[in-house]
Amino acid sequence: MRIKRERMVREQIEARGISDAGVLEAMRTVKRHLFVEEALYARAYGDSPVHIGHGQTISQPYIVALMSELLEARKGMRALEIGTGSGYQAAVLAAMGLTVFSVERVRELFFATRALLQRLSIRNVHMKLADGTLGMPEAAPFDRIIVTAGGPSVPPPLLEQLDDPGMLVMPVGERQRMPQLVRGKQQLVRVVKDKGRIYKENKATVTFVDLVGEHGW
């Protein structure tokens, strides 16, 4: 699997322009196949998302790397992740030296992923079972926020919990309508908070599962 990870980084990630050394090292280090079902190990390092059940996916390796790089994160920062899923993105951020606070709304995924992270001895990820669009106010503020599901707009509670200066990355746009048939178009948006002002920029066209919650779909 180590050879597959190296090939994934070289051919799917570096070849598309990702150059952040911390991101590349984390993608080489974290064993992606452990975050999918054993029957899907062969697909874990492919250039596509992988279903993890409950209508959720583990994102394409390039997208994980892109979102991680867009955060411009540094070791020691505190990051809020909305949508823990199988835990892969959280594990990548943890490998980059961040303390990760992650919110998951699907009960089955929450307990399965928490157990997995414990087995892997990943101790700098702190999970909560809740509506992710409300964030984790008890642990705020956060230097960085990453949202791994697409919503109509950036939830106001997340902007409130973002430190100043701070940075947030999230897919924003149309929702999925019968995902097997029609996928809504979304923009991967980076939000920068600086001296009380909010700046937004579109970084890529993407497709993510729906962000469900009070400030989502």
Please answer whether residues 80 and 144 qualify as being in contact, where contact means their C-beta atoms are separated by less than 8 angstroms. yes
CATH at residue 46: 3.40.50.150
Q: Which of 19, 48, 59, 153 is catalytic?
A: 59
Domain that holds residue 124: 2-206
- For residue 196, is it within any domain? yes
Domain count, the chain: 1
Q: Nearest-CA neighbor of 87 among 75, 78, 95, 76?
A: 95
Q: Which pLDDT tens digit goes with each residue over 23-49?
A: 999 999 999 999 999 999 999 999 999
Q: Which pLDDT tens digit goes with each residue over 86-139?
A: 999 999 999 999 999 999 999 999 999 999 999 999 999 999 999 999 999 999
Does 181 score more than 50 pLDDT? Answer: no
Report d(CA 33, CA 20) in Å as an integer: 22
- For residue 217, is it within any domain? no
- For residue 211, is it within any domain? no
Per DSSP (E only), the strands in 70-213 are 78-82, 99-104, 125-129, 142-147, 162-173, 186-194, 197-206
Q: What is the pTM of this model?
A: 0.95
Q: Which pLDDT tens digit goes with each residue over 40-85?
A: 999 999 999 999 999 899 999 999 999 999 999 999 999 999 999 9
- For residue 165, is it within any domain? yes
- For residue 172, is it within any domain? yes
Active-site residue, 59 included:
yes
Structure tokens at 43: 């697909």
Q: How many CA atoms lie within 13 A of 198 on its CB side?
A: 13
Q: Nearest-CA neighbor of 64 among 27, 33, 95?
A: 27
